[in-house]
């Protein structure tokens, strides 16, 4: 034991912590400028090893800062079934990250004691990274952390975030979920996609074509790798493939969603279906421009609607009565919630921002379709639903319609990465649904009309002064802020607005929607001013958008 700790100290000296630096394990792990993350990476290697010993399972560590700029980086831990690490361990991550060098062993021993970890237990850690220039050396620091505590590593190198989650789940289910290799991932998803697409009659080459903005990130590389598994069933024109553009710079899902405009570097032809991944390929949004050149965005809410409608229709055809819900956050467009509840008659749940919250609520249902408006989401299906579907397929009594629906449901399950939102998997599912339903992107867009909306950021001295409740839809502090928001919202029709501290950036986020874009923009600006004045704004006062 003491020899093990001597190793940790020896290696830790090579990854010193800048004295006084304090970082939090936020919505998606640690995320900040790559220059100050080396010690964090080493320590997350240590923590993943402890987590593996504790759970007696393989743990994942992903080095990425997703949609953040190239200069940033980040790290998050993946629990045994491919889900985000539990909140108690997020707390340990923060403790370990912030211990000064001399206190590191004490912090480590404290976790070992609290969790009663058997240090002679074997540990296995899977490590992956995105394409950032800092990721190679930072993931090396993770690997060193793991081996200095005697853990065994598998370095997957360049993978998308969802691919790493998938590998961890495959490993811990001993192959039941699939083979824990990137090749196995492509095979499982693409075979299911090809089986689905066979149900699309008369699909023209035009309909098989998709323009994809890879955000100059890992998603682009991985789509290239996957293409040969797709045959001619999906023809992807890849833009922003990382060959010369900068990661996430004026491109990618976050840029397109927040700016509500097409990425640079992608040639957008009227009526043509386009999509964008984010920097680690766990988000996707779709869009097109109409004949008048107007840009139309199909975000996570539209995706959730398309997928849940498709699944609901199949369940009806299969005669299966299961309990299904769509899980959203406060950022979901009000029109989507109304359409899902009133027209589709599905249960809609609202949770706090951050996929781990959505994932947990979705797990409470037989089928949970969860999506953040920004395009991060997936579908979770319970074992009992999978069994019922299998029974229908096997039963000699099922009629042809039931069997067809059951087979479609089964292939839908296989194309989905249930461990976490996955841009590649979501893209394949969406493409299959559109083809099977013979639906154009315009028809999909017309299912409901989004309320115009606007997202803004406000810089404040300390964003923790904002405390929220009701799935972040209302502010409890600072005093007077919620009253101010309520009064502003009243001035506009069909309006809604809320503010919350970001978990990944040092800003307060403001969201507003209303009947017109002008009103949404004006409301977002007025609410930003209220935040600036009541929550300790710094720098210049927010300026109107127009
Ligand atoms: P923060 O920075 O906490 O708003 C953002 C996204 C989340 C989630 C995380 C993790 C918005 C408004 N927020 O979180 O939904 O995706 O990043 O990547 O899109
Ligand atoms: Zn991401």
* pLDDT confidence tier of residue 1, bands split at 50, 70 and 90: low
Per-residue confidence band for 397, with pLDDT thresholds at 50, 70 and 90: confident
30: pLDDT strictly greater than 90: yes
Q: What is the pLDDT of residue 504?
A: 82
CA distance 341 to 107: 48
**Ligand 1 atom nearest to 258, measured from its CA:** 19
Q: Which residue of 24, 25, 26, 27 sits with most ligand 1 atoms within 8 Å of its CB, as the best mutation to test the pocket?
A: 27
Q: Are 432 and 196 in contact, with CB atoms under 8 Å apart?
A: yes
374 lines ligand 1 (CB under 6 A): yes
288 vs 261: CA distance, rounded Å: 10
pLDDT at 546 exceeding the cut of 70: yes
Is residue 494 within 8 A of residue 334, CB to CB? The reply is: yes
pLDDT of residue 510: 98
Mutate to test the pocket of ligand 1, among 255, 500, 502 (most ligand atoms within 8 A of CB): 502
End-to-end CA distance of the chain: 64
pLDDT bin (cut points 50, 70, 90) of residue 82 is very high
Q: How confident is the model at residue 26 (pLDDT cuts 50, 70, 90)?
A: confident
The 3-state secondary structure of 234-253 reads: CEEEEECCCCCCCCCCCCCH
Give the model confidence (pLDDT) of 413-430 as tens digits. 999 999 999 999 999 999
What mean pLDDT value characterizes the chain?
96
Q: What is the token pair recorded at 432?
A: 């299959």
In contact, 60 and 164? CB cutoff 8 Å: yes
Closest Cα to atom 8 of ligand 1? 354
SS3 letters across 515-544: CCHHHHHHHHHHHHHHHHHHCCECCCCCCC
- In whole angstroms, give the CA distance from residue 156 to residue 142: 13
Confidence of residue 457 (pLDDT cuts 50, 70, 90): very high
* Mean pLDDT of the region 98-123: 97
The rounded distance, in Å, linking the Cα atoms of 126 and 445 is 39
For ligand 1, what atom is nearest to the CA of residue 504? 2
What pLDDT band is residue 398 in, cutting at 50, 70 and 90? Answer: confident
Give residue-wise pLDDT tens across range 233-258: 999 999 999 999 999 999 999 999 99
Q: Considering Cα of 515, then 516, then 522, then 527, what sign does the dihedral take?
A: positive
pLDDT of residue 267: 85
| Residue 540: pLDDT over 70 | yes
Q: Name the pLDDT band for 121 (thresholds 50, 70, 90).
A: very high
State whether the beta carbon of 376 lies less than 6 angstroms from ligand 1.
Answer: yes
Is the predicted pLDDT of residue 3 greater than 90, yes or no? no
Ligand 1 centroid, distance to 504 Cα (angstroms): 7
Query: Any idea which of 54-63, 326-335, 390-399 has the lowest mean pLDDT?
Result: 390-399
Question: pLDDT at residue 449 above 70?
Answer: yes
Which amino acids are annotated catalytic? 66
Q: What are phi and psi of 225, to 5 degrees?
A: -65, -35
Distance 74 CA to ligand 2 centre (A): 11
Q: Calculate mean pLDDT across residues 369-388.
A: 97
Reply yes or no on whether the pLDDT at 211 is more than 70.
Answer: yes
Q: Is the dihedral of CA 168, 173, 177, 178 positive or negative?
A: positive
Ligand 1 mutation target, pool 32, 248, 297, 353, most atoms within 8 A of CB: 353
Listed residue (93, 68, 170, 95) closest to 126, CA to CA: 170
The reported pLDDT for the residue numbered 2 is 75
pLDDT at 470 over 70: yes
Question: What is the H or E stretch that residue 287 is in?
Answer: strand 284-289
Q: List the residue whose alpha carbon is closest to atom 7 of ligand 1.
A: 354
Q: How remote is the CA of residue 283 from the centroid of ligand 2, in Å? A: 6
Those residues with Cβ within 8 angstroms of residue 320's Cβ, 6 or more apart along the chain or in another chain: 385, 388, 389, 392
Q: Which residue's structure tokens are 């952390």?
A: 145
Q: How confident is the model at residue 261 (pLDDT cuts 50, 70, 90)?
A: very high
Share of the chain above pLDDT 70, in %: 100
Place of tokens 């296989």: 414
C-alpha 450/C-alpha 438 separation (Å) is 22
CA of 371 to the centre of ligand 2 (A): 13
Written as one string, the DSSP assignment of 114-127 is HTT--TTS--EEEE
Are 149 and 49 contacting, i.e. CB atoms less than 8 angstroms apart? yes
Q: What is the pLDDT of residue 27?
A: 82
- Ligand 1 pocket residue status of 354, Cβ below 6 Å: yes
Cis ω on the peptide bond leading into residue 478 (within 30° of 0)? yes
At residue 543, the pLDDT reads 95
pLDDT, tens digit (0-9, with 9 covering 90-100), for 293-320: 999 999 999 999 999 999 999 999 999 9
Which of the two residues, 545 and 58, has the higher pLDDT score?
58
CA of 105 to the centre of ligand 2 (A): 32
Q: Is the CB of 68 under 6 A from ligand 1?
A: no
pTM attached to this predicted model? 0.96
Q: What is the mean pLDDT of residues 351-360?
A: 94
State the distance from the centre of ligand 2 to the C-alpha of 238, rounded, in angstroms.
Answer: 19
């Amino acid at each position: 034991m003491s020899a093990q700790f001597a190793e940790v100290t020896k290696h830790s000296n090579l990854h010193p912590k800048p004295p006084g630096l304090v970082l939090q394990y936020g919505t998606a792990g640690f995320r900040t400028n790559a220059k100050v993350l080396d010690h964090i990476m080493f320590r997350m290697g240590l923590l993943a090893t402890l987590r593996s010993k504790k759970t007696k399972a393989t743990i994942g560590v992903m080095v990425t800062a997703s949609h953040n700029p190239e200069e940033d980086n980040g790290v998050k831990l993946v629990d045994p079934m491919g889900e985000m690490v539990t909140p108690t361990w997020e707390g340990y991550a923060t403790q370990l990250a912030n211990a000064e060098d001399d206190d590191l062993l004490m912090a480590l021993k404290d976790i070992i004691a609290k969790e009663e970890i058997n240090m002679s237990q074997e540990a296995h850690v899977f490590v992956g990274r995105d394409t950032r220039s800092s990721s190679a050396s930072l993931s090396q620091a993770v690997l060193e952390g793991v081996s200095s505590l005697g853990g065994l590593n598998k370095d997957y190198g360049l993978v998308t975030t969802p691919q790493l989650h998938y590998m961890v789940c495959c490993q811990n289910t001993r192959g039941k979920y699939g083979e824990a290799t990137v090749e196995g991932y492509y095979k499982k998803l693409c075979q299911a996609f090809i089986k689905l697409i066979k149900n699309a009659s008369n699909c023209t080459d035009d309909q098989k074509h998709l323009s994809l903005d890879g955000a100059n990130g890992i998603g682009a590389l991985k789509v290239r790798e996957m293409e040969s598994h797709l045959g001619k069933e999906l023809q992807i024109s890849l833009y922003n493939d990382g060959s010369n553009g900068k990661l996430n710079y004026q491109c990618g899902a976050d840029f397109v969603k927040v700016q509500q405009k097409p990425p640079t570097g992608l040639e957008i032809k009227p009526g043509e279906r386009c999509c964008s991944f984010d920097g680690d390929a766990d988000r996707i949004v779709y869009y097109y421009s109409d004949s008048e050149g107007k840009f139309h965005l199909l975000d996570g809410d539209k995706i959730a609607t398309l997928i849940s409608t498709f699944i609901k229709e199949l369940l009806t055809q299969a005669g299966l009565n299961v309990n299904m819900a769509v899980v959203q956050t406060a950022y979901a467009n009000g029109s989507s919630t109304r359409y899902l509840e009133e027209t589709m008659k599905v249960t809609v749940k609202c949770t706090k921002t951050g996929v781990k919250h959505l994932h947990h609520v979705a797990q409470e249902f037989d089928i949970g379709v969860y999506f953040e408006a920004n395009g991060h989401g997936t579908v979770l299906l319970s074992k009992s639903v999978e069994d019922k579907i299998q029974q229908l397929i096997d039963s000699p009594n099922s009629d042809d319609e039931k069997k067809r629906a059951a087979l479609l449901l089964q292939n839908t399950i296989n194309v989905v990465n249930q461990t976490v939102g996955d841009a590649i998997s979501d893209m394949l599912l969406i493409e299959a649904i559109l083809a099977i339903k013979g639906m154009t992107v315009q028809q999909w867009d017309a299912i409901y009309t989004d309320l115009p909306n606007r997202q803004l950021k406000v810089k404040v001295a300390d964003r923790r002064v904002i405390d929220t409740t009701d799935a972040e839809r209302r502010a409890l502090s600072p005093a007077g802020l919620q009253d101010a928001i309520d009064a502003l919202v009243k001035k506009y029709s069909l309006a809604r607005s809320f503010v919350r501290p970001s978990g990944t950036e040092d800003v307060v986020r403001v969201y507003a929607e209303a009947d017109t874009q002008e009103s949404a923009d004006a409301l977002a600006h007025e609410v930003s001013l209220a935040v600036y004045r009541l929550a300790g704004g710094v720098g210049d006062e927010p300026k109107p958008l127009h």
